[in-house]
Structure formats: C-alpha cells, structure tokens
C-alpha cells in the first residue's frame, strides 16, 4: 500500500540519516587532538580541559541523536500522525519505535566513536612528545591525568546518559572501553618512564665503574653517585609537583624509577670482582642511606634486596663494629640532607 511504501521509505531515509550522523561523529573524533591546548583544567585538577569537553559534547549530542533515532518531533507533543487512504484513517508512516537492528547499530557506532577518540588522544601525546621534547613531561603527565578522569568520572556519566536515552545497559557492559583506558595508561607510563631510565642507568654505571672498590678509604658520607641519584629524583619530584600531578601518579613514577635504580646498582655490583672492608663499608652506607631516604616510595622487593646485600657484605667483612660505624655515618648523612630529602617523606 501507499502507507507501507511511504513508511518503508521514511525508515530507510532515517537509517541513512542516523548512519551519516554517526559517521561524522567518528570522523570528528579522529581530529579531536586539534583542540587540545594542554592548559590545566579548573574542574579536574591535573588534567587538561579535554575530559570536560568530551563530557559536555556527549551530553549535548546524545539527546539530539535520541530525537532522530526515536523520531521525536520537538515541535509537537506527539510522535504519531495519521494519513487518510480511500477515506480511511491509517497508521502513521513514522515508526513509533526504532528496530533492534537500528539500536544495535547506534550502540556499536557510539562505542566505536569512544575507541577512536581514545586512539586519537594516545597518538596525539606520542606525536607531540616526539616533536617537542622540551614539553614531554607535560604531554605525558596531563594525558595520564586525562585518562584517569575519563575512566573515573567522564565515561561513567556518558554511559549513564546513553543508557537513559537509548534504553540500554551499556554501563554494565563497557568493560572493553575501560580495558582500553587501562592499556593506554600502561603505555603512557612505559613511554614516560623510558625517558628517565637511561639517565638513571648512566649515573649508576659511571659512579660504580669509576671507583676502585678494593683500595677504598673509609667513608665519612654517601658516595657522589648516590647523591647524584637522589638529586635526580628530587628534580623529577619537583617537576611533577609543578605540573600538579596527583599523589598516586607521583608515587607510582617514583616507585618504578627507584626500582629500576636499585636493579641497575645490583647489576653493576656484580661486575666488581673485589671489595676491601672500606669498600664494603661504603656500599653499605650508600644502600642504607638510600633506603632510609626512600623508605616511603621504594617497593618491598627493592628494600629486601638492599637489606640482604648489606647483611651479606657485613658478614663477609667479619668486623663486628661495622654495623655501628655504618649507622653513625648514615645518621650523619640523613641529618645533613634532611631538608633536601623531605620530598620523599
């Protein structure tokens, strides 16, 4: 019939319109990096304004998409109409409810737009950090903060809004999106940490390999390389503070880099064939001073490694008074450097 033909035509046109809208949505999010200016947000501390923009965009977009999908005429209170064929009233040519296939397609494209968005944000920070190495810290740390905000706040609200307008339960079945966010955060951490690992390795190798540990004089303080490592970590902590990095992210960065530092020290120690008693004394002073300063940020495995090495070395030295002497020097170092090392407390 004429009504059925018109209804089928309308349905096809509406499906094409919906597909076009969603295609433009995905296309726009492929270029979302172009609006990022890296300015810090006043709404979500530590992040940029990107998470808030994404939230506001979807809050405005989803109600409009709902009107198209559910054939809602905003100028009238009713979504139905009638036509007259052969003098008889017939059902509206406008479907009252979209098909399950349409709703499934909308949800698939909506989720795809989020994945495209996340992929674009990751690619943007990687490209930006390559082209402007002076601002690598800002790019990585602000994007890590963005990912945290997207996961804990923004996407939760977006999924809730979507469920409300499209009668779905996406909030309960969005594990893949949250898994993608976790993967991106891991990638960002790995890339960011990789900037500083070589510098730590260089300090350790130069410090340990340049010393004659068999003809060492009795120490009265921590080794130069130990102080260089701690000063390097202080510099990084200051940088994180200036960029308003969250306490949890700062602690994670510190712990990862410190674990790498201890690992490299252990590797270099294995290369040294012989230690004098004074050399053992110096190694234990360095380790104990380091573990005291970093006791709140070093991981348990690293602390155990340090403790084990000191016990083995002092036992090997066979000097019963060595522990007391080590503690005296370490306490003196801690007192002298207290103000500088307070950032690790």
**Does residue 46 contact residue 40 with C-beta atoms inside 8 Å?**
yes
Residues sharing a CB contact under 8 Å with residue 174, sequence separation 6 or more, in sequence order = 111, 155, 159
Please report the pLDDT score of residue 317 as a whole number: 64
Question: Residue 311 phi/psi, 5° resolution?
Answer: -65, -45
Please say if the pLDDT value at position 189 is more than 50.
yes
Maximal C-alpha separation, the chain: 113
pLDDT digits (tens, 9 = 90+) for 240-292: 999 999 999 999 999 999 999 999 999 999 999 989 889 999 999 999 999 99
Please say if the pLDDT value at position 157 is more than 60.
yes
Tell me the sheet residues that pair with 90. Answer: 83
DSSP-assigned letters across all residues of 292-307 = HHTTTTS-HHHHHHHH
Please report the pLDDT score of residue 321 as a whole number: 67
Q: What is the mean pLDDT of residues 136-160?
A: 97
- Average pLDDT over the chain reads 87
Reported confidence tier of residue 1, pLDDT bands at 50, 70, 90: confident
Tokens 């308003």, residue?
244
**3-state SS, residue 71:** coil
**Does residue 310 contact residue 287 with C-beta atoms inside 8 Å?**
yes
Please say if the pLDDT value at position 208 is more than 90.
yes
Reported confidence tier of residue 19, pLDDT bands at 50, 70, 90: confident
| Among 134, 113, 114, residue whose Cα is nearest residue 38 | 134
Reported confidence tier of residue 41, pLDDT bands at 50, 70, 90: very high
Please report the pLDDT score of residue 88 as a whole number: 42
Helix (H) or strand (E) holding 56: helix 50-69
Please report the pLDDT score of residue 314 as a whole number: 80
Lowest mean pLDDT among 170-179, 186-195, 222-231, 319-328: 319-328
Q: Where do the H-state alpha helices sit in 210-246?
A: 224-242
Reported pTM: 0.84
Tell me the sheet residues that pair with 84. Answer: 89
**Does residue 46 contact residue 244 with C-beta atoms inside 8 Å?**
yes
Please say if the pLDDT value at position 79 is more than 50.
no
Distances 86 to 2, 9, 94 between C-alpha atoms, Å: 11, 21, 19
Please say if the pLDDT value at position 56 is more than 70.
yes
Please say if the pLDDT value at position 304 is more than 70.
yes
Please say if the pLDDT value at position 295 is more than 90.
no
Question: In the chain, at which residue ranges do the beta strands (DSSP E only) sit?
Answer: 83-85, 88-90
pLDDT digits (tens, 9 = 90+) for 81-108: 444 444 444 456 666 677 888 899 999 9
Question: How many other CB atoms are there within 10 angstroms of residue 84's CB atom?
Answer: 9
CA 3, CA 5: separation in Å to the nearest integer? Answer: 5
Torsion, CA 108, CA 114, CA 119, CA 122, rounded to 10: -160
Q: What is the mean pLDDT of residues 143-155?
A: 97
88-90 vs 83-85, strand pairing mode: antiparallel
- The burial class, CB within 10 Å (0-12 / 13-18 / 19+), for 238 is exposed
Residues sharing a CB contact under 8 Å with residue 304, sequence separation 6 or more, in sequence order = none
- Per-residue HEC secondary structure of 167-205 comes to CCCHHHCCHHHHHHHHHHHHHHHHHHHHHHHHHHHHHHH
């Amino acid at each position: 019939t004429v009504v059925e033909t018109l209804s089928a035509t309308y349905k096809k046109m509406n499906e094409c319109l919906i597909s076009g809208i969603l295609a433009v949505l995905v296309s726009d999010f492929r270029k979302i990096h172009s609006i990022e200016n890296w300015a810090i947000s006043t709404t979500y501390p530590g992040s940029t304004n990107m998470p808030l923009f994404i939230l506001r965009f979807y809050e405005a977009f989803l109600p409009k998409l709902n009107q198209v999908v559910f054939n809602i005429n905003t100028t009238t209170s009713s979504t139905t109409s009638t036509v007259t064929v052969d003098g008889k009233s017939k059902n509206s040519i406008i479907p009252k409810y979209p098909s399950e296939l349409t709703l499934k397609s909308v949800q698939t494209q909506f989720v795809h737009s989020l994945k495209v968005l996340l992929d674009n944000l990751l690619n943007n920070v990687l490209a930006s950090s390559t082209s402007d190495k002076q601002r690598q810290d800002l790019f990585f740390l602000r994007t890590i903060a963005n990912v945290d905000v997207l996961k804990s706040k923004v996407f939760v609200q977006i999924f809730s809004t979507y469920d409300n307008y499209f009668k779905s339960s996406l909030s309960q079945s969005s594990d893949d999106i949250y898994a993608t966010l976790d993967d991106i955060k891991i990638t960002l951490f790995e890339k960011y940490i990789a900037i500083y690992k070589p510098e730590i390795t260089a300090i350790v190798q130069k410090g340990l390999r340049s010393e004659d540990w068999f003809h060492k004089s009795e120490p009265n303080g921590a080794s130069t390389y130990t102080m260089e490592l701690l000063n390097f970590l202080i510099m990084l902590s200051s940088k994180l503070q200036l960029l308003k990095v969250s306490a949890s992210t700062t602690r994670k960065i510190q712990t990862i880099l410190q674990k790498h530092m201890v690992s490299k020290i252990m590797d270099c120690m294995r290369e040294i064939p012989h230690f004098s008693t004074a050399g053992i004394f110096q190694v234990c002073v360095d380790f104990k001073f380091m573990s005291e300063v970093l006791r709140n940020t070093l991981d348990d495995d690293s602390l155990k490694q340090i403790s084990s090495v000191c016990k083995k070395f002092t036992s090997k030295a066979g000097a019963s008074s060595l522990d007391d002497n080590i503690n005296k020097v370490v306490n003196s170092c801690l007192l002298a450097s207290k103000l500088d090392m307070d950032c690790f407390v």
